[in-house]
Amino acid sequence: MKKLFFCFLLITNTFFAQQKFAWITDTHIGFDSADVELKKIVDQINSIKDVDFILATGDITEKAKNLEFDKAKQILDNLEKPLLIIPGNHDTKWSNSGCSKFTEIWDDDKFIYKKNKTVFIGISSAIPIIGGGGHIKPGDIQWLKDELSRIDSTFEIIFAVHHPLNEDIDNWFKVTNVLRNYKIKAILYGHGHKTQITNFNGIPAVMARATISKNQNSYGFLLVENTKSKINIFEVEKDNVPKFWGEINKAENLTIPLVDSTQFINYNSEISFQKKIKTTLVAPPLFWNEKVFVADFTGLVSCFNLNGKLLWDYDTFGDITAKPIIAEEKLVVTTVQGELTILEPDNGEQIETIGFDDYIVADPVLFNHEGVKNLIIPKQTKSTAALIIATTSGKTYCYDFETLQEIWTNNEAKDMIQNAPQVIGNQIIFGSWDTHIYSIDANTGSTIWKWQGNKSFYYSPAACEFVNDGKYLYLTTPDKVAHTIDIRLGTTKWEKNQYNTWESIGISADKNQLFIKSVEDKFHVISTKNGNLIKTVNVDFGLDTTPNKPIEWNNRIIFSAKNGNIYRINDKFKFRSVLYLGTARMHSVQIIDAKRLLASNMDGEIIIFNIVGD
Residue 43 falls inside a structural domain: yes
What is the percent of the chain with per-residue pLDDT over 90, rounded to a whole number? 91
Domain shared by 186 and 275, yes or no: no
Domain shared by 63 and 146, yes or no: yes
Domain shared by 508 and 594, yes or no: yes
Could you tell me the CA-to-CA distances from 260 to 27, 174, 197, 202, 427 in Å, in that order?
Answer: 36, 9, 26, 15, 51
| Cα 95 versus chain centre, distance | 9
A 10 A CB-CB count for 519 gives 17
Domain count for the chain, please give it. Answer: 2
Residue 9 falls inside a structural domain: no
Task: Tell me which H or E stretch contains 6.
Answer: helix 2-12
pLDDT at 147 over 80: yes
What is the pairing mode between strands 203-207 and 183-189?
A: parallel
Residues 6+ apart with CB under 8 A from 592: 287, 598, 608
pLDDT at 131: 74
Q: Considering only CA atoms, which of 485, 544, 488 is closest in space to residue 516?
A: 544
- How large is the average pLDDT for residues 379-399? 97
Residue 545 falls inside a structural domain: yes
3 state DSSP class of 41: helix
Q: Maximum CA pair distance of the chain? A: 88
3 state DSSP class of 39: helix
- How large is the average pLDDT for residues 573-581? 97
Domain shared by 553 and 514, yes or no: yes
Q: Considering only CA atoms, which of 180, 55, 42 is closest in space to residue 112?
A: 55
Residue 374 falls inside a structural domain: no
Residue 317: phi and psi, rounded to 5, are: 55, 40
> What confidence tens digit (pLDDT) does each residue in 255-296 have?
999 998 889 999 989 999 999 998 999 999 999 999 999 999
- How large is the average pLDDT for residues 365-372? 95
Domain shared by 205 and 276, yes or no: no
Domain shared by 579 and 557, yes or no: yes
What is the pairing mode between strands 481-486 and 472-477?
A: antiparallel
Domain shared by 161 and 276, yes or no: no
Strands of 405-410's sheet, edge to edge? 365-368, 385-390, 396-400, 405-410
> What confidence tens digit (pLDDT) does each residue in 501-521 have?
999 999 999 999 999 999 999
- How large is the average pLDDT for residues 128-156? 93
Final residue of a domain: which of 205, 227, 249? 249
- Round to whole Å and give the CA distance between 108 and 106: 6
Domain residues for 182? 19-249
DSSP H helical segments within 136-236, as ranges?
138-149, 172-179
A 10 A CB-CB count for 66 gives 18
Domain shared by 182 and 275, yes or no: no
* CATH code, domain carrying 235: 3.60.21.10
> What confidence tens digit (pLDDT) does each residue in 240-254 have?
899 999 999 998 889
Residue 233, Ramachandran bin (φ over 0: left; ψ between -120 and 50: alpha; else beta): beta
Q: How confident is the model at residue 11 (pLDDT cuts 50, 70, 90)?
A: very low
* CATH code, domain carrying 506: 2.130.10.10
- How large is the average pLDDT for residues 577-603? 96
Strands of 565-569's sheet, edge to edge? 265-266, 575-580, 565-569, 556-560, 551-553
Residue 359 falls inside a structural domain: no
- How large is the average pLDDT for residues 563-590? 96
Domain shared by 278 and 209, yes or no: no
Q: Which value, to the nearest 10 degrees, does the dihedral of the CA atoms of residues 29, 30, 34, 38 take?
A: 30
Residue 298 falls inside a structural domain: no
Task: Tell me which H or E stretch contains 71.
Answer: helix 66-76
A 10 A CB-CB count for 491 gives 11
Residues 6+ apart with CB under 8 A from 415: 96, 392, 393, 394, 432, 433, 434, 457, 460, 462
What is the percent of the chain with per-residue pLDDT over 70, rounded to a whole number? 97
- Round to whole Å and give the CA distance between 240 and 244: 13
pLDDT at 17: 53
- Provide the strand spans (E) within 220-262: 221-227, 230-236, 243-249
Domain shared by 198 and 240, yes or no: yes
- Round to whole Å and give the CA distance between 366 and 399: 10
pTM metric for this prediction: 0.93
Q: Cβ distance 212 to 27 under 8 Å?
A: yes
Final residue of a domain: which of 227, 249, 271? 249
Domain shared by 238 and 279, yes or no: no
Q: How confident is the model at residue 4 (pLDDT cuts 50, 70, 90)?
A: very low
Residue 36 falls inside a structural domain: yes
The least confident of 255-269, 411-425, 472-486 is 255-269
> What confidence tens digit (pLDDT) does each residue in 161-179 have?
999 999 889 899 999 999 9
Q: How confident is the model at residue 613 (pLDDT cuts 50, 70, 90)?
A: confident
What is the chain's mean pLDDT, rounded?
94
Residue 289 falls inside a structural domain: no
- Round to whole Å and give the CA distance between 449 and 489: 7
Final residue of a domain: which of 225, 249, 273? 249
Domain shared by 510 and 592, yes or no: yes
- How large is the average pLDDT for residues 383-402? 97
